[in-house]
Structure 1
Amino acid sequence: MRQLLVFVLFATLFCWLMFSPVYKHVVVLRQSLLQQEVDYLLEVGASGRYGYIDAAMIVESRTRLSGYGFRPEILEYEVTTASGMPGTDSAAPLQRGDGLRLVIRYPYDGLMDIDRLIGVDPPSSMARMAAAGMKMSEYVP
């Protein structure tokens, strides 16, 4: 009985040690891809040509991120501005100097569940990783 218990504990520890670096890298990769997408959308949206991030840009972003394995239907986008004006209206682009802020959120999707093997609680099912950024609009009518 004692040998069986030692085997189970060793197998659990071995499994966690073997797979822990893999899923941690997935979390880091997802986070960096989200931040890269935020930076790209802000660069395009706050440029002198647009001054907004509209629904079509967000749909294209979802498509790009789905190419990396993200599920597009659970990506959350939040576009706000420093002045309180809507930053998603192509008919009323933000004037030069107004801040355009974008946040993209995505759930951890059970990536940290293996931490339970060593007694660490994983993030809740409602927890989200997020990438955010702000850029001043360069649009001049």
Structure 2
Amino acid sequence: MKQILVFVLFAGMLCWAMFAPTYKHVILFRQAMLQKEVDYMLEVGANASHGYVDQAAMEASRQRLRQHGFQTGKLWYSVSATNGANASDPSSPVLRGAGIELDISYPYDGMFDIDRLLGIATPAASARMAASGMKMSEYVP
């Protein structure tokens, strides 16, 4: 009985040691892709000819992230302006000097379940990885 228990524990630890770097790499890749997308969207949205991040830009972002393995329905976008204006309305762009804030989040999708099985503390099931940024608008009418 002891031998079976030792085998099961050893097999679990061996699997964790082999696969932990792989799924941690996926988490880091996803986080980096989200941050890259936030930076790109803010660069385009806050330039002198836009001053907003609209629904079309968010849909284009979803499609770009889908090409990297994200499920588009699970992506959450949040756009706001530091002056309280609607930063996603193309008819009233955020004027120069006000900041446009963008947050994109995506669930972990159970990527830490193997850690939980080994007794390592993991994020809650509803936790989401997120990337955020702010850029000052350069739009001048």
TM-score range, shorter chain: over 0.9
Preserved CA contact (<8 Å) 1:78 1:103: yes
Q: Which residue of 2 aligns with 1:12?
A: 12
Q: Note the C-alpha offset of 1:36.
A: 0.1
Post-superposition CA distance 1:80-127 (Å, at most 9, x none): 110011000100001111100000000000111010232113222210
Question: Percent same amino acid among aligned pairs?
Answer: 55
Trace 1:1-141 onto structure 2 (pairs within 5 A). 1-141=1-141
Q: Note the C-alpha offset of 1:78.
A: 0.2
* TM-score (norm. length: structure 2): 0.98
- What is the CA RMSD across the aligned residues, in angstroms? 0.7
Q: Secondary structure at the match of 1:96?
A: coil
Q: Note the C-alpha offset of 1:18.
A: 0.5
CA distance in 2, matches of 1:3, 1:91: 71
Q: Which structure 2 segments of 5+ residues have no match?
A: none
Q: Which structure 1 segments of 5+ residues have no match?
A: none
Post-superposition CA distance 1:44-89 (Å, at most 9, x none): 0000010000000000000000000000011000001100110001
CA distance in 1, matches of 2:121, 2:13: 16
CA distance in 1, matches of 2:56, 2:125: 29
Preserved CA contact (<8 Å) 1:13 1:117: no
CA distance in 2, matches of 1:54, 1:90: 7
Post-superposition, which runs of at least 4 consecutive aligned residues in structure 1 deviate over 4 A?
A: none
* TM-score (norm. length: structure 1): 0.98
Stretch of structure 1 that moved more, 113-122 or 70-79:
113-122
Post-superposition CA distance 1:8-54 (Å, at most 9, x none): 11001001000001010100000000000000000000000100000
Q: Give the letter for the 2:126 counterpart.
A: M
CA distance in 2, matches of 1:82, 1:134: 9
How many residues matched? 141
Q: Note the C-alpha offset of 1:2.
A: 1.1
